[in-house]
Amino acid sequence: MSADLALRRDLVRRIAAGGALADPALRAAFEDVPRHLFVPYYYEAAPGGHVRLWGEDPDQGRRERWLTGAYADAPLGTRMRDGDLVSSSSQPSLMARMLEALDLRDGDRVLEIGAGTGYNAALLCHRLGEANVTTVDLDPEITESARTHLEAAGYHPAVITGDGARGVPARAPFDKVVATCTVDAVPEDWPAQCGTGALILAPLATGLIRLRVAGPGRAEGRFLHTPAYFVPLRGTGSPPRGTPYTGGLPRESVTNELFRFLLELTAGSLDPYEAHALWRREQRPPRERFGVTVDGGAQWAWLDDPQGPYTWPLRDRPFSPGGR
d(CA 200, CA 190): 8
d(CA 138, CA 115): 9
Q: Is 78 helix (H, G, I), strand (E, B) or coil?
A: strand
Cis peptide bond upstream of 309, omega within 30: yes
d(CA 122, CA 129): 9
CB 136 within 8 A of CB 160: yes
In the chain, DSSP finds a helix count (H) and a strand count (E) of 10, 14
d(CA 137, CA 235): 9
Which among 2, 87, 88, 90 is annotated as catalytic?
87
Largest CA distance in the chain: 67
166: nearest Cα among 237, 241, 87, 238: 237
d(CA 294, CA 190): 11
CB 202 within 8 A of CB 186: yes
| 90 catalytic residue (yes or no) | no
Q: DSSP character for 138?
A: S
Q: Is 290 helix (H, G, I), strand (E, B) or coil?
A: strand
CB 294 within 8 A of CB 306: no
Please give the positions annotated as active site: 87
